[in-house]
Amino acid sequence: MSSTCQSDHLGRLLGQCQHRMRMVMDRSLRQYGVTPVQCRALMYLHRQPEPVTQRQLEQYMAVKPSTINGIVGRLEEKGLLTRDACQQDARCRALRLTEEGRRFRSDFIRIAQDTNRQMEQGFSPEELAALHRYLERVAQNLAAQTEETEL
């Protein structure tokens, strides 16, 4: 099999896994009114000392400024976070979780853990360690490629 066919196959499998994981997460998060991407942003904010800048969240999520602006805007509309000008630089936006944004933290952790357990089912610890190494390498390969094209 040529490397092009293998790459296409790997991309299809990774896309299929991501799609199915998103479906599981969507179903689990529906009752909270957030999407998996919004949940990921909220969980990042939970783990960081406040305030977090919108730029920091953008870098963590690895998305464009317009994308993070939409994510933050929807979370703000839902009353889950606030977005204010930073004290040091008015162009910068400081993000802070509201009480409502903190409310479901333990539920979101449980949902993520349940989803991970479901994905890891049937793998030995050694297989999981190898899978993590391989996926990290794939991510690094793709990051290197995207960095080259952005220059």
Place of tokens 């969507």: 26
Instruction: Say if CB 95 and CB 81 are below 8 A apart.
Output: yes
How far is it, in rounded angstroms, from Cα 58 to Cα 103?
Answer: 23
> CA 140, 13, 30: angle at the middle one, nearest 5?
95
Listed residue (139, 56, 122, 121) closest to 93, CA to CA: 56
pLDDT digits (tens, 9 = 90+) for 89-111: 777 889 999 999 999 999 999 99
Whole-prediction pTM value? 0.80
Low-confidence ranges of the chain (pLDDT < 50): 1-2, 151
Instruction: Say if CB 100 and CB 80 are below 8 A apart.
Output: yes
Residue 4 pLDDT: 52
